[in-house]
Each structure stands twice: as C-alpha cells, then as structure tokens.
C-alpha cells in the first residue's frame, strides 16, 4: 500500500467523506484521513472546512499523526484564529512532556502559528524551553524567539527574551549557540532597538569562534555570517579572527567556504595593505575558490558570481588561475557565461595568447548568447591588452568571414570600439566590414557600422552611396541608428562638402521635419544651425577629437562593490545588487560597509600608503557599464567633453567667409533657409544656439558684499566687499564709502602673506578723490603669485588699505569657490584612480541641508563655479554625482554628492590629499547650492 493514492482522489463530496473518516473511532482510519487532508492541502485544495475535525485528532500519542495535525494547523490557523485557540492547551501540555522531542515539536510548531491570541500563551512555555535541560529543546526554542519576534517584536523585547537569547551564546552545546546566533542576526536586521542588548563584542565573538570548531556545517555558516557583521576594534583583532577562520576554507560545504571568504575579505580591509599577513591570506584564498568550480553547477554559479566580485576587489588573488575558468563543453550555459566574464577580467599580457585561442573556440559554439559574448570578449581583449590588439582584430576578421549573421554583427560592434581605442590603425579592414553591410539587421550593429563609415568617410570612396543606402528606410530605423546616421552624414559633408549637399539636406529635413523624436529633431536643428551660421565651428564640434575609451568595462561602482563584498555568498552577491534592491520593506536598511583601515600599530606612517592592489592590477577606470559606454560612443558629438568645452567658451562668431568649399556653403545656407520654409533669420540662430547651450544662465556665484572695515574703525572709511571669479581670475570687489568729513585720496592696498598666495595683480587705482558721503566701487584683479603662508582659518586674508588719512588693517575670508580654477575637470579614469589612491581616512562627509534642486540643476550650478561633474550614477534610486575641482594652488579635491529623492538634505563626501581645505570647500558647496 502506498501513499501516492492520496494525491489522486478528486471525487465530489470528498470533503464530506473526509469529515466522516476523521470522526472515525479507528486510529488507523483517522490517520489515513489526515494524510488525505495533507495531500489535498499540498496540491492547493482548500480543506480549511475540516479544521475542527482535524483539530480533534490532536490529542493522540501517535507522534506521526501529531506531526501531521500540527502541519495542518500551521497552514490554516491564520484563517481560523478562534478555532486555533482550542489547540493551545495541547501545546502547553506538550511543552511539558517528558519526551524532549515532543517538547521541541510543540514549541517549534507553536511559533509557526501566527495568531495573536496564541502568542500570549506561548511566552511561558517558551521561557521554560529556553532553559530546558535538553539541548535539542533549547536549540529549537532559540529559533522560536526569532519566530516570535517576527510576529510581535515588542513582546519579545518586553518579555526579556533577548536577554535569554544572548545568554544562550554561552551555552555549552554548539548547536544551541549556532541557532541562537542565527536568531540574533535575524532580529538585529529588522529591529534596531535590539541593538543594545544583542550587540556583539569581542568576548561574544570569541565564544562564537570556539563554537565554530564544533558545530554542524549549517551552524558554521550562521556563525561565520554573524562574525562578518562584526567590526573588530583594531587590526590585531581582525587578524586574529582571520587566523581562526581560515581553517574553514578547507570545509567540504561550499557555503562554509564562501562565508569564510566573506569574513576574510572584509577584515583584510582593516589590515595594513602591504603586510606579510595580507599576502599569506591572498595565497590562502585562491585554492578554495578554485575548488568551488568542481562542485555542482548551481554551486559553481554562486561561486562564480562571487569570484567576479573578488576579482574586482583584489585581482591579485586569482591572477594566475586563468585556466580553471576555461569553459567546458558540458558546462550549463549560466556557468559558461559567468566563466567568460571572469576570463576577461583576468586577461593580461601574460595569458592573452591562451585566452584568445579559447575565445576563438567559443565563438564557434552553438548557444547564441554565449557566442556573442565571446566575440565581444575578443574585442575587449584588444582594448585591454594593446600588444595583442592586432591578433584580436585578425581573429575578428576571421569570424566575420564565417558569415554567421550574429557573429558578424557582434564583431562589427566591437570593432567600432577598437577603432575608438586605436584611431587610424586598422582602417585597412574597413573594406571587409563594408562587404557585410546588407546582413546587418540589429540596430546596434547598424549604428556601429554607420559610425565607422562617418568617422572614416574621407577614406571610403563610396561613403556617400553607403550612407545613402541607409537613408532610404530612415523612418523605420531605430532611434540609435537614426541619430548615428544623422551625425555620420554631417561628418561626411564636412569632410567632402562638394558632392554631398543633397544628402545632408535630405537627412536634416528627415530629422527635423519628419521625425517626432525630440532628441533627433534637436540634434538635427543644432547641426543645421551650426552649418548655416558657422561651418568652421561646426567642424570643430562635429569632428572634434574624441576622448579615448577606457580599458575596463562593466566594472561595478566602487561603493557598491564594497557593499557586495560584505554580502559575499548572499543573494545580493548573486544578483550584484544591494539587498534593498530586491528585499521588501525597510528591512535590512542598514547598509553593510567595509571597515576602515585600522590605525593602531602604524603610528608615524604619515605618508599615504599605495593602493592595496598590486601594481600589475589594471587601474580601474570608467564607472559605466557596457550600455552607457555605447551610449557615450554614439552620442559623443553632443555629450562628450568636447561639447562641454563649447559650452563654456561659446564659439565666437567668426567672419562669414567660409573656410573651405565656400560655394558649397553658401548654397547650403540658402538652401537651408528655404527648406525651413519660413522666417529663419540667421541672426536669431546664434541666440537659439545659446539657448540650447544654456549660456545665459552660466554665472558663477558671488556672495553678497559684507562690511570688512566699519567706518568707526576706518576713520570714516567704510570698506565693504566680496570676491568673485571672472574670466579665470579672482576678483576682489571693493566698495569704498567715505563717511568722514573730508575727501579721501591716495588709495593703496596690500595683502599679508596668505594660504593661497593671493596678491593684487595691479595697484589699486581710484582716479578722483572720494568725496564725503560718496562711495565708489572697484574691481581689483588678484593673482596667485604672491608669498604663501598658511593662515588660520585657511581662507583668511589680511588686508592693509592706505589712504591720505591713515593705514587700516582688516581681515576677510576668501570664499573658497573663487579659487576653483577652470581646468578642474579630471578625466574619468584619472578620477577613479585618484579616488582609490587617496586613503579612505581622508574621506570626510558633510551634510548639506535643505537644497531644493534636482541633480541636473545642481550639476549645472556647480559647474558654473568650476566644480565639474565627472560622472553621474543612479544607485538604489539615489543620484550620485562624482565631481572634481582644482584650487589655484593645484590641490585637487574630489567630491561625491549623494542626492536622495525627496530628501532636501544632500550628503557630500570630500576626498583630497590635503584635508585642510575641506571646511572651506564644504562652505563653498553650501553657498553655491543655496544660492
């Protein structure tokens, strides 16, 4: 007789039949009936109507039957709270049974019945069970506290269960300790108030480390995960914990290994970067990580996702283990894709030959996604390892010859990137690429091909024909392709103006008149006006030199990476997303962050230590992933730095004489006017341009004037003033007011030595005498060539003013932003490297309250004051602006501005080598943003 028959009954009146069976006197029949009920419950039938009948079976000495009834109760108690209360007596009695298995069963089940009324009865039995003589009951009761906390946190705290739970950490039985730790970790995650009671300290950590050696594999995972949430008080403690955790790396259970890796990776941050112990740890971490790759594929997948993080954080750990990531023919696809990702990260000049041979092999496999990724990987190798670029390109050409449609398309997309990285090096292959024009049907590939044609239009004889062929179906193209085509044709026109006017007119009218896409239309108008007003400027804009692209892509943004490192082995590390991106509610709102490097024991070591990565580690470069990189590539005519330059120094309207191909241009101008079909006054067009570029608003912030020298102290002379920045100079705006009874003449000004070497660029020159009750304003240009002496506060400036009456002294504060220079824009790559390079303890946070602007306005406002936004990211719904600025004395300051939606308070983190400037800069940010 088998139990599977219970799954098959589907007759009508089944419930009624079950009811009678449940009421049967025969024990066997009763049990059969309950089994049927459970089977129905499993397949999703509603058997809640049987609640009282099933409940009647609860009083039995048959443990199997009891368990089934309990299972039923757990499922339906919530829908029948009044009935469920009837079970309480049995629970309470069972909690005092002589058999520990029954005591534990009762307390375990009771915790799962989420009915408020039952909870009140649960407290006393639970309290007893936490002190039970049997460890099996205690370990079950420990978890029950977490269950109860989930239902009613306040009750748990009021009843003192937290204290009891904490006491269990000292239990003699390791499994009780492990379950207590699990419960505590869960409670801490949801309830910040429990912190005071359950806070881990070094003595509890010690107890845990002792229990670690003796408990089950799962218990070890709970303990290691709990330890990873602890922050050691100094590097010594961090090291001693690491020493006791590393033996776990040899455990057969992958979860134990990964949790140990998490603890080690996190605590390594606290150790001195170049210490010997770090290199020991690095050596110890590699083998267990590699071994995880021989586990079941699902475990491999989790391991690979985590290795991806480890490799980004500390590339030195696995730099010699490339081979183990080679893809096996039978690997599941998800393992293959992850391995490929890690292979690219580990690629270096040393192993490029092997990697390339592998990638070529993969590019002939069956799975389309995998093949595409492999082809893309070849391109990334070319960009990453310069000496191998040529080999990569020829491999890609081979692949294009296979004529497999998606291979060709993918190859063209990456070749475009290679052209960007190595301009003017591989144009010889363009002919081959052009042969495949017809087969391209994906927008990205088409756009890439068009970009290549536009970029090298002067070398492709039939570029006009090629582009024209794309133009035929302009309306049906993807926006990406349309934008690219527009730009490419304008490029072509600028390079070969004589025979391509028709084409450019055609595309401009298509873009501006027949399209309802605002991006396309705007770009079309910009080109149009540029071409019609100032072809030279157009050339400068459209054919500007492009910034080089970065070597690494897909890098996880550093703060996120650090957070993920703290979440190794967890779901967050699998998704590569912070926990609050997929966990509901305000739970786990506590972001896990890496501990700062401890300072104990290395006093006197003032120099900023070199970054943790070995020099061989590729400098992490641009933040954005593939998508944004591609966006950058295609849109650079508008969004790139070249354009920003334009924005700052608007093109001076030059003479109308065209520089090249004059006749063509004139013709075009007329043609365009007529095409626009109406009043298109050319004089207005520049204004329009200005509008688009937002020129009129580009003004830097000037604080209101304040009184520097009151008349009472200046013998009637009142000096008010402020500082501003104009045309790259610091300007001191002075207003002299004569409140005395006699005219004043012979003004002169002098500065004391100051922090930034400010001095008047020329003597003050007030031509006529300043009569009583008169005032005059004067803009004094300052230079920064003067003598330097550190002042306190830093921006303090001591000024002496002389006139025919006396010499007066006063001091004023130079607002720091007047010292931000125009070329303070760092390259992304440099920015990232610098950010990493500056020790973490130099980072200082400052809250800017009550700002009523969005990220874009802010970035514009700051830019007007020479604070440049290098990158903007959106992390977990908040905007992060990464900014750089440079002071007149060459000090670079990096800033990270965190803007949360609906929160007027921004968080500003500054990083610089000289921390003295922070205060002034924070002040400057405050002023600029509140202006």
Partner 1 sequence: MIGGLFIYNHKGEVLISRVYRDDIGRNAVDAFRVNVIHARQQVRSPVTNIARTSFFHIKRSNIWLAAVTKQNVNAAMVFEFLLKMVEVMQSYFGKITEENVKNNFVLIYEILDEILDFGYPQNTDTGILKTFITQQGVKSQSKEETSQITSQVTGQIGWRREGIKYRRNELFLDVLESVNLLMSPQGQVLSAHVAGRIVMKSYLSGMPECKFGINDKVLMDTRGRSNMDESSSRTGATSGKSSIAIDDCQFHQCVKLSKFETEHSISFIPPDGEFELMKYRTTKDISLPFRVIPLVREVGRSKMEVKVVVKSNFKPSLLAQKVEVRIPTPLNTSGVQVICMKGRAKYKASENAIVWKIKRMGGMKECQLSAEIELLNTSDKKKWTRPPISMNFEVPFAPSGFKVRYLKVFEPKLNYSDHDVIKWVRYIGRSGHYETRC
Structure-token pair, residue 921: 């800069």
Instruction: Name which of 570 and 883 has its Cβ closer to partner 1.
Output: 570
Closest distance of CB 229 from partner 1, Å:
12
Q: Residues 73-102 vs partner 1: string with x where CB under 8 A?
A: --x----------------------xxxx-
Instruction: Name which of 121 and 326 has its Cβ closer to partner 1.
Output: 326
Closest distance of CB 141 from partner 1, Å:
11
Answer yes or no whether residue 225 interacts with partner 1 by CB under 8 A.
Answer: yes
Closest distance of CB 135 from partner 1, Å:
4
Answer yes or no whether residue 255 interacts with partner 1 by CB under 8 A.
Answer: yes
Instruction: Name which of 323 and 930 has its Cβ closer to partner 1.
Output: 323
Asked whether the bond before 309 is cis by omega within 30 degrees of 0, the reply is: no
Closest distance of CB 586 from partner 1, Å:
13
- The single residue among 258, 433, 457, 541 that binds partner 1, judged by CB under 8 A, is 258
For the CA atoms of 159, 164, 166, 167, what is the dihedral angle to 10 degrees?
160
Instruction: Name which of 132 and 552 has its Cβ closer to partner 1.
Output: 132
Closest distance of CB 102 from partner 1, Å:
9
- The single residue among 42, 170, 432, 462 that binds partner 1, judged by CB under 8 A, is 42
Interhelix angle 626-639/443-455, nearest 10 degrees: 40
Answer yes or no whether residue 499 interacts with partner 1 by CB under 8 A.
Answer: no
Answer yes or no whether residue 333 interacts with partner 1 by CB under 8 A.
Answer: yes
Q: Identify which of 217, 286, 212 has the alpha carbon closest to the alpha carbon of residue 244.
A: 212
**Rounded Cα distance, 577 and 9, in Å:** 46
Instruction: Name which of 445 and 483 has its Cβ closer to partner 1.
Output: 445
Question: Strand order in 748-751's β-sheet?
Answer: 748-751, 796-802, 807-813
- The single residue among 110, 137, 344, 494 that binds partner 1, judged by CB under 8 A, is 137
Q: Identify which of 432, 511, 525 has the alpha carbon closest to the alpha carbon of residue 477.
A: 511
Instruction: Name which of 167 and 856 has its Cβ closer to partner 1.
Output: 167
User: In what helix (H) or strand (E) does residue 669 lie, and over which residues does it extend?
Assistant: helix 662-676
Interactions with partner 1, residue window 163-222 (CB under 8 A) = 173-176, 179, 182, 186, 213-218, 221-222
Interactions with partner 1, residue window 297-326 (CB under 8 A) = 297-299, 301-303, 323-324, 326
Instruction: Name which of 402 and 789 has its Cβ closer to partner 1.
Output: 402
Which residue, chain included where needed, has tokens 């021989």? 294
Answer yes or no whether residue 112 interacts with partner 1 by CB under 8 A.
Answer: yes
**Rounded Cα distance, 657 and 660, in Å:** 9
Closest distance of CB 83 from partner 1, Å:
19
Please say whether the beta carbons of 271 and 239 come within 8 A.
Answer: yes
Answer yes or no whether residue 16 interacts with partner 1 by CB under 8 A.
Answer: no
Closest distance of CB 378 from partner 1, Å:
17
A 10 A CB-CB count for 720 gives 18
Query: Taking the mean position of all CA atoms in its chain, how far away is CA 292?
Result: 28
Interactions with partner 1, residue window 588-627 (CB under 8 A) = 588
**Rounded Cα distance, 894 and 139, in Å:** 51
Answer yes or no whether residue 248 interacts with partner 1 by CB under 8 A.
Answer: yes
Phi-psi region of 674 (alpha: psi -120 to 50; beta: other; left: phi over 0): alpha
- Read off φ and ψ for residue 731, nearest 5 degrees: -115, 135
- The single residue among 49, 250, 807, 840 that binds partner 1, judged by CB under 8 A, is 250
Q: Which stretch binds partner 1 (CB under 8 A): 50-58, 103-111, 453-461, 661-669?
A: 103-111
Q: Residues 359-388 vs partner 1: string with x where CB under 8 A?
A: --x--xxx--x-------------------
DSSP one-letter code for 577: S
Interactions with partner 1, residue window 521-580 (CB under 8 A) = 567, 569-575, 579
How far apart, in Å, do the first and last CA atoms of the chain sit?
A: 84
- The single residue among 90, 159, 204, 259 that binds partner 1, judged by CB under 8 A, is 259
- 718 bridge partner residues: 737
Instruction: Name which of 394 and 402 has its Cβ closer to partner 1.
Output: 402
Interactions with partner 1, residue window 790-829 (CB under 8 A) = none
Which residue, chain included where needed, has tokens 């290795």? 307
DSSP one-letter code for 744: B
Answer yes or no whether residue 347 interacts with partner 1 by CB under 8 A.
Answer: no
Instruction: Name which of 148 and 450 has its Cβ closer to partner 1.
Output: 148
DSSP output for 771-782: -TT-EEEEEEEE
Q: Which stretch binds partner 1 (CB under 8 A): 57-65, 775-783, 792-800, 878-886?
A: 57-65
Q: Which stretch binds partner 1 (CB under 8 A): 128-136, 414-422, 786-794, 831-839?
A: 128-136
Residues in the interface with partner 1 (CB under 8 A) total 113
CA angle 818, 819, 825 (to 5 degrees): 110
Structure-token pair, residue 8: 């098959």
DSSP one-letter code for 754: B
Q: Which stretch binds partner 1 (CB under 8 A): 357-365, 455-463, 686-694, 764-772?
A: 357-365
Please say whether the beta carbons of 415 and 452 come within 8 A.
Answer: yes
Instruction: Name which of 329 and 649 has its Cβ closer to partner 1.
Output: 329
Answer yes or no whether residue 39 interacts with partner 1 by CB under 8 A.
Answer: yes
DSSP one-letter code for 741: S
Answer yes or no whether residue 4 interacts with partner 1 by CB under 8 A.
Answer: yes
User: Exposure of 651 by Cβ count < 10 A (0-12 exposed, 13-18 middle, 19+ buried)?
Assistant: middle
- The single residue among 54, 69, 108, 829 that binds partner 1, judged by CB under 8 A, is 108
Instruction: Name which of 365 and 926 has its Cβ closer to partner 1.
Output: 365
Closest distance of CB 302 from partner 1, Å:
5
**Rounded Cα distance, 462 and 456, in Å:** 11
Closest distance of CB 278 from partner 1, Å:
18
Closest distance of CB 8 from partner 1, Å:
9
Closest distance of CB 16 from partner 1, Å:
23
Closest distance of CB 508 from partner 1, Å:
40
Largest CA-CA distance found in the chain, in angstroms, rounded: 122
Answer yes or no whether residue 68 interacts with partner 1 by CB under 8 A.
Answer: yes
**Rounded Cα distance, 181 and 142, in Å:** 9
Instruction: Name which of 254 and 418 has its Cβ closer to partner 1.
Output: 254
Structure-token pair, residue 435: 């042969």
Instruction: Name which of 248 and 446 has its Cβ closer to partner 1.
Output: 248
Please say whether the beta carbons of 844 and 913 come within 8 A.
Answer: no
Answer yes or no whether residue 277 interacts with partner 1 by CB under 8 A.
Answer: no
Answer yes or no whether residue 6 interacts with partner 1 by CB under 8 A.
Answer: yes
Interactions with partner 1, residue window 389-428 (CB under 8 A) = 402-404
**Rounded Cα distance, 635 and 716, in Å:** 60
**Rounded Cα distance, 634 and 538, in Å:** 18
Instruction: Name which of 105 and 486 has its Cβ closer to partner 1.
Output: 105
Structure-token pair, residue 736: 């002299």
- The single residue among 160, 192, 469, 582 that binds partner 1, judged by CB under 8 A, is 582
Interactions with partner 1, residue window 676-715 (CB under 8 A) = none
CA angle 444, 376, 470 (to 5 degrees): 25
Answer yes or no whether residue 3 interacts with partner 1 by CB under 8 A.
Answer: yes
Instruction: Name which of 588 and 927 has its Cβ closer to partner 1.
Output: 588
- Read off φ and ψ for residue 716, nearest 5 degrees: 95, -15
**Rounded Cα distance, 187 and 357, in Å:** 52
User: In what helix (H) or strand (E) does residue 571 lie, and over which residues does it extend?
Assistant: helix 571-575
Q: Identify which of 460, 524, 452, 539 has the alpha carbon closest to the alpha carbon of residue 488.
A: 452
Structure-token pair, residue 663: 């006749």
């Amino acid at each position: 007789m088998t139990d599977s028959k219970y799954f098959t009954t589907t007759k009508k009146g089944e419930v009624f039949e079950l009811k009678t069976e449940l009421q049967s006197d025969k024990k066997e029949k009763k049990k059969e009936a309950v089994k049927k009920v459970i089977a129905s419950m499993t397949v999703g039938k509603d058997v809640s109507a049987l609640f009282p009948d099933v409940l009647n079976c609860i009083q039995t000495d048959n443990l199997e039957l009891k368990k089934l009834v309990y299972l039923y109760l757990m499922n339906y108690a919530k829908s029948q709270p009044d009935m469920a209360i009837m079970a309480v007596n049995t629970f309470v009695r069972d909690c005092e049974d002589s058999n520990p298995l029954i005591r534990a069963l009762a307390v375990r089940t009771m915790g799962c019945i989420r009915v408020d009324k039952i909870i009140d009865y649960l407290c006393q039995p639970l309290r007893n069970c936490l002190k039970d003589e049997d460890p099996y009951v205690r370990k079950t009761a420990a978890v029950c506290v977490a269950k109860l906390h989930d239902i009613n946190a306040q009750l748990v705290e009021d009843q003192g269960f937290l204290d009891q739970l904490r006491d269990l950490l000292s239990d003699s039985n390791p499994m009780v300790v492990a379950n207590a730790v699990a419960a505590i970790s869960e409670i801490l995650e949801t309830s910040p108030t429990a912190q005071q009671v359950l806070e881990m300290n070094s003595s509890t950590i010690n107890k845990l480390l002792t229990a670690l050696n003796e408990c089950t594999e799962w218990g070890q995972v709970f303990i290691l995960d709990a330890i990873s949430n602890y922050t050691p008080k100094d590097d010594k403690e961090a090291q001693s914990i690491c020493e006791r955790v590393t033996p776990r790396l040899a455990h057969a259970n992958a979860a134990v290994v990964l949790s140990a890796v998490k603890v080690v990776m996190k605590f390594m941050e606290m150790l001195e970067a170049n210490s010997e112990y770090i290199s020991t740890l690095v050596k110890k971490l590699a083998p267990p990580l590699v071994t995880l790759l021989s586990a079941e594929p699902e475990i491999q997948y989790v391991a690979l996702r985590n290795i991806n993080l480890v490799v980004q954080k500390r590339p030195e750990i696995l730099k010699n283990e490339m081979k183990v990531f080679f893809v096996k023919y039978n690997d599941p696809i998800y393992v293959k894709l992850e391995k490929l990702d890690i292979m690219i990260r580990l690629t270096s000049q040393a192993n490029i030959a092997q990697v390339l041979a592998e990638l070529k092999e993969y590019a002939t496999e069956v799975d389309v996604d995998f093949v595409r990724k492999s082809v893309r990987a070849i391109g990334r190798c070319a960009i990453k390892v310069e000496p191998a670029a040529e080999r990569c390109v020829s491999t890609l050409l081979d692949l294009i010859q296979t004529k497999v449609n998606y291979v060709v398309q993918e190859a063209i997309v990456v070749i475009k990137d290679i052209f960007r990285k190595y301009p003017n090096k591989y144009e010889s292959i363009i002919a081959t690429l052009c042969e495949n024009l017809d087969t391209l049907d994906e927008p990205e590939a088409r756009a890439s091909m068009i970009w290549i044609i536009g970029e090298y239009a002067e070398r492709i004889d039939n570029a006009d024909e090629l582009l024209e062929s794309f133009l035929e179906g302009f309306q049906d193209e993807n926006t990406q392709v349309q934008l690219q085509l527009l730009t490419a044709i304008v490029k072509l026109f600028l390079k070969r103006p004589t025979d391509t006017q028709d084409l450019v007119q055609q595309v401009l009218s298509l873009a501006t008149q027949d399209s309802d896409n605002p991006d396309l239309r705007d770009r079309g108008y910009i080109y149009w006006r540029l071409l019609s007003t100032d072809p030279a400027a157009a050339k400068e804009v459209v054919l500007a030199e492009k910034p080089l692209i970065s070597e690494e892509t897909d890098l996880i943004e550093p703060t996120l990476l650090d957070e993920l490192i703290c979440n190794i082995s967890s779901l967050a590390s699998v998704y590569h997303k912070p926990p609050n991106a997929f966990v509901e509610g305000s739970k786990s709102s506590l972001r896990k962050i890496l501990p700062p490097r401890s300072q104990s024991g290395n006093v006197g070591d003032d120099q900023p230590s070199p970054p943790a990565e070995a020099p061989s580690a590729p400098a992490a470069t641009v933040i954005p992933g593939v998508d944004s990189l591609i966006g950058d590539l295609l849109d650079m005519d508008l969004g790139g730095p070249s354009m920003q330059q334009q924005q700052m120094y608007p093109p001076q309207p030059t003479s109308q004489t065209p520089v090249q191909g004059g006749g063509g241009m004139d013709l075009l101008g007329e043609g365009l006017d007529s095409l626009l079909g109406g009043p298109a006054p050319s004089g207005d067009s520049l204004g329009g341009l200005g509008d688009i570029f937002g020129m009129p608003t580009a003004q830097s912030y000037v604080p209101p004037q304040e009184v520097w020298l009151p008349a009472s102290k200046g013998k009637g002379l009142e000096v008010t003033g402020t500082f501003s920045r104009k045309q790259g100079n610091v300007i001191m705006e002075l207003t002299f007011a004569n409140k005395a009874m006699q005219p004043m003449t012979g003004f002169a000004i002098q500065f004391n030595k100051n922090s930034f070497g400010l001095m008047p660029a020329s003597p003050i020159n007030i031509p006529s005498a300043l009569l009583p009750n008169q005032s005059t304003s004067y803009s004094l240009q300052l230079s920064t060539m003067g003598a330097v002496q550190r002042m306190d506060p830093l921006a303090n400036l001591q000024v002496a003013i002389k006139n025919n009456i006396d010499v007066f002294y006063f001091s004023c504060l130079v607002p720091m932003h007047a010292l931000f220079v125009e070329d303070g824009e760092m390259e992304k790559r440099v920015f990232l490297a610098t950010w990493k390079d500056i020790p973490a303890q130099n980072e200082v946070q400052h809250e800017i309250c009550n700002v009523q602007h969005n990220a874009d306005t802010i970035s514009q406002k700051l830019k007007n004051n020479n604070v440049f936004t290098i990158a903007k990211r959106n992390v977990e719904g908040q905007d992060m602006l990464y900014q750089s600025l440079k002071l007149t004395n060459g000090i670079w300051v990096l800033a990270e501005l965190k803007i949360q939606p609906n929160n007027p308070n921004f968080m500003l983190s500054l990083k610089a080598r000289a921390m003295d400037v922070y205060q002034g800069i924070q002040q400057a940010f405050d002023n600029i943003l509140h202006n």
